[in-house]
Amino acid sequence: MADRDDRSIEHHSYDVVVIGAGGAGLRAAIEARLQGKRVAIISKSLFGKAHTVMAEGGCAAAMGNANPNDNWQVHYRDTMRGGKFLNNWRMAELHAKEAPDRVWELETYGALFDRTKDGKISQRNFGGHTYPRLAHVGDRTGLELIRTLQQKIVSLQQDDHEVTGDYQANLRVFHECTITELFTTSPGPGAPAEERRIAGCFGYFRNDGRFVRFDAPAIVMATGGVGKSYQVTSNSWEYTGDGHALALRAGATLINMEFLQFHPTGMVWPPSVKGILVTESVRGDGGVLRNSEGERFMFEYVPDVFKEQYATSEEEADRWYTDPDNNRRPPELLPRDEVARAINSEVKAGRGSPHGGVFLDIASRLKPEEILKRLPSMHHQFKELADVDITKEPMEVGPTCHYVMGGIEVDPDTGMSSVPGLFAAGECSGGMHGSNRLGGNSLSDLLVFGRRCGLFAAEYVDALGGLPQVASGDVEAAIERALLPFSSATDGGENPFVVQLELQRTMHELVGIIRKADEMEMALKKLEDIATRTRTVSVEGHREFNPGWHLALDLRNMLLVSLCVGKAALERQESRGGHTRDDFPVMDSDWRHVLLVCRGLGEDDVELTRKEQIPMRPELFDLFELDELKKYYTGEELGGHRTEPAK
């Protein structure tokens, strides 16, 4: 048990430290261990509780089990389209190619996906995916994924136990542990990122407040997203952008931070669960959106770029569920950003439901037994939390902050950031999903790039000459910062919960789904003020499991990522994917190839620079028809495209 001023530190050394125990982190740890490395996994919550459990719909992989026409090229095209061609195409390519192997691998770890008639993994339809592509287990796929990876970790520990007599000899989980600082070599201010190397990290155990330090030449960030900076979010308390902020402070860069995905269907009532996710599978399995006038309004909101792929009448849309080859998709299955905006417009036009959402109706579309079989946890969730029986009544839903497309800028093949030794996978990395992520692509993203990060972290460690050393001054500074909320310097400071609320409200109201320049400018001003207040929040009590203290430290991460989101959103003068500008409502081809890069300036400021996107490799470019590319690319960019249509 730590006294408030106890400065003692538990010290560990590992080859690879993985921060985050969601899908990406666990997959990275598995791979690094398989490569023979000693690995630590650090988790803010208990092992097995990571936010990945919330993923419901499935894991996209072009296995072609449900429709043999599916292959990686189709998946690649869907992903690029979904991201409005702003994606890092190399990541999208690797993702589409490797996802099937990653899913099959899970079966050898013991995963039990739903099956097709011939015993293969069943695949379901999802927004933006041309063919049924999502491997799933009812509507609890994320849970299956996390449990499977967790059990694989245990299995590797059992192997180590056979040899060493110690389960945790070479692979150890440090749970309920928060990392507050990364250590790099030569951390002089202004030093270029490449000159720094990762040397370790520092944090505290949540349960007793003890400090802990890990020395490691390679660190994999897998900390997930930033949704807790918003008022209405499907994300849990953990999603405070720790990885994003730690990377910034260590000298790495973030890209695409203006792109936030608002999931179209979150619960809107009761208030305590506002924002909690209602899976897209409800729509994939036939659910439709209606406004208060009973109108199936999505037909009014099909944007021009998607006109050819989506049905124009209810009859055609309904036929698609049984005969997808000869009919176009229902507009409810448009990419998430489109649906979220449509719902937003309906509510603003006064056609919303009683609690400020719209109706999602599955009750009139499927038999009760069928709903219970396909959407058991949705049924459970609504029954228990809202007292709504979804087999009898429609749900009330509205947009909720769900996913950040932006994240740590990494090399697409290795997952390494601009700071040598710092890797990132999953939601906290950026580029893969462009301006908007397709449903189902996040679980596959975790697996593909989690594995790659583990693999290349191990390679990096092997290639390293000497071990980078942690500077003792850095450790002292880290202790100082961690204890700041308890110190006399913050006496009379605010309650961190109050500051958090203010931050969330600012982001929600001023940098939300629909954005305007003046509002964002105001938001940035407010954030400046919040930055000062964040430095001086004050906490009472002890260090054992003290939620106020935890929040006080998380708050500065939330602040830093909010600044990135705000600045990047103000800079990008167009609307694309998860970034909608009221003052620049259309997509602009001149912005497609521009990436906005954030760099940290001290504890609570960031600078923004522009960077050109690398052009797509010709053979990938040729996978698209010229007509489609014209909607996204400028004239001169199209020069190299093949001219004849693909066969």
Partner 1 sequence: MAKHDHHFRVWRGDAEGGQLVDYPVEVNDGEVVLDIIHRLQQTEAGDLAVRWNCKAGKCGSCSAEINGRPRLMCMTRMSTFADDEVVTVTPLRTFPVIRDLVTDVEYNYVKAREVPAFAPPAGVAPGEYRMQQVDVERSQEFRKCIECYLCQNTCHAVRDHEENKAAFSGPRFLMRIAELDMHPLDAADRRDLAQEDHGLGYCNITKCCTEVCPEHIKITDNAIIPLKERVVDRKYDPVVWLGNKLFRR
User: How many angstroms from the chain centroid is the CA of residue 481?
Assistant: 28
Residue 422 in contact with partner 1, rule: CB under 8 A: no
Residues 6+ apart with CB under 8 A from 318: 330
Contact between 373 and 286 (Cβ < 8 Å)? no
Contact between 442 and 403 (Cβ < 8 Å)? yes
Residue 51 known to be catalytic: no
The residue from 151, 185, 490, 589 that contacts partner 1 (CB under 8 A) is 151
Residues 6+ apart with CB under 8 A from 162: none
**Residue 634 half-sphere exposure, CB side, CA atoms within 13 Å?**
10
Residue 387 in contact with partner 1, rule: CB under 8 A: yes
Stretch of 116-124, 338-346, 408-416, 604-612 lying at the interface with partner 1 (CB under 8 A)? 116-124
Residue 546 in contact with partner 1, rule: CB under 8 A: yes
Contact between 427 and 464 (Cβ < 8 Å)? no
Residue 263 known to be catalytic: yes
Residue 615 in contact with partner 1, rule: CB under 8 A: no
- The minimum distance between CB 349 and partner 1, in angstroms, equals 24
Residues 6+ apart with CB under 8 A from 625: 645, 646
Stretch of 97-105, 279-287, 323-331, 590-598 lying at the interface with partner 1 (CB under 8 A)? 97-105
Residue type (1 letter), 483:
L
- The minimum distance between CB 104 and partner 1, in angstroms, equals 4
Both tokens assigned to 508: 């929600």
The residue from 108, 326, 472, 532 that contacts partner 1 (CB under 8 A) is 108
Residue positions counted in the chain: 647
The residue from 79, 231, 381, 575 that contacts partner 1 (CB under 8 A) is 381
Number of residues that bind partner 1 (CB under 8 A): 68
Question: Which residue in this structure is represented by tokens 């109050």?
Answer: 498
Nearest one of 330, 307, 331, 335 to 317, comparing CA atoms: 330
Cα–Cα distance between 634 and 373 in angstroms, integer?
A: 48
Strand partners, 135: 59, 123
Residue 157 in contact with partner 1, rule: CB under 8 A: yes
Considering only residues 265-304, where is the footprint of partner 1 by CB under 8 A?
269-273, 276-277
Give the nearer residue to partner 1 in terms of CB position, either 215 or 544: 544
- The minimum distance between CB 101 and partner 1, in angstroms, equals 7
- The minimum distance between CB 165 and partner 1, in angstroms, equals 13
Residue 540 in contact with partner 1, rule: CB under 8 A: yes
Residues in contact with partner 1, shown as a per-residue x/- string from 222 to 251 under the rule CB under 8 A: --------------xxx-------------
- The minimum distance between CB 376 and partner 1, in angstroms, equals 8
Residue 35 in contact with partner 1, rule: CB under 8 A: no
The residue from 35, 43, 45, 240 that contacts partner 1 (CB under 8 A) is 45
The residue from 23, 58, 82, 100 that contacts partner 1 (CB under 8 A) is 100
Give the nearer residue to partner 1 in terms of CB position, either 88 or 381: 381
The residue from 38, 124, 140, 592 that contacts partner 1 (CB under 8 A) is 140
Residue 115 in contact with partner 1, rule: CB under 8 A: yes
The total of other beta-carbon atoms located within 10 Å of residue 538's CB is: 19
Contact between 638 and 630 (Cβ < 8 Å)? yes
Question: Which residue in this structure is represented by tokens 């208990």?
Answer: 46
Catalytic residue among 213, 263, 290, 543: 263
The residue from 457, 539, 570, 616 that contacts partner 1 (CB under 8 A) is 539
Residues 6+ apart with CB under 8 A from 82: 128, 335, 433, 434, 436, 437, 438, 441, 577
End-to-end distance of the chain based on CA atoms, in angstroms?
Answer: 68
Residue 164 in contact with partner 1, rule: CB under 8 A: no
Residue 5 in contact with partner 1, rule: CB under 8 A: no
The residue from 384, 413, 528, 625 that contacts partner 1 (CB under 8 A) is 384
Give the nearer residue to partner 1 in terms of CB position, either 299 or 497: 497
Question: Which residue in this structure is represented by tokens 């009472």?
Answer: 540
Residue 112 in contact with partner 1, rule: CB under 8 A: yes
- The minimum distance between CB 544 and partner 1, in angstroms, equals 5
CA distances from 635 to 85, 497, 514, 640 (A): 15, 51, 29, 11
Instruction: Provide long-range contacts, Cβ within 8 A and 24+ apart, for 378-387.
Output: 378/56, 378/139, 378/278, 378/279, 378/281, 378/282, 381/267, 381/276, 381/278, 382/267, 385/267, 385/270, 385/273, 385/276, 386/267, 386/269, 386/270, 386/273
- The minimum distance between CB 400 and partner 1, in angstroms, equals 12
CA distances from 247 to 77, 189, 600 (A): 31, 15, 9
The residue from 9, 34, 104, 303 that contacts partner 1 (CB under 8 A) is 104
The SS3 assignment for 184 reads strand
Considering only residues 480-509, where is the footprint of partner 1 by CB under 8 A?
495, 497
For every residue of 345-412, DSSP letters joined together read: HHHHTT---TTSSEEEE-TTTS-HHHHHHH-HHHHHHHHHHH---TTTSPEEEEEEEEEE--EEE--T
Stretch of 44-52, 457-465, 507-515, 553-561 lying at the interface with partner 1 (CB under 8 A)? 44-52
- The minimum distance between CB 567 and partner 1, in angstroms, equals 29
Catalytic residue among 283, 515, 579, 592: 283
Residue 548 in contact with partner 1, rule: CB under 8 A: yes
Active site residues: 263, 283
Under the rule (CB under 8 A), what is the footprint of partner 1? 45-49, 51, 53-54, 63, 100-101, 104-105, 107-110, 112, 114-115, 118-120, 122, 137-138, 140, 143-144, 147, 151-152, 154-155, 157-158, 161, 167, 207-208, 236-238, 269-273, 276-277, 377, 380-381, 384-387, 495, 497, 539-542, 544-548
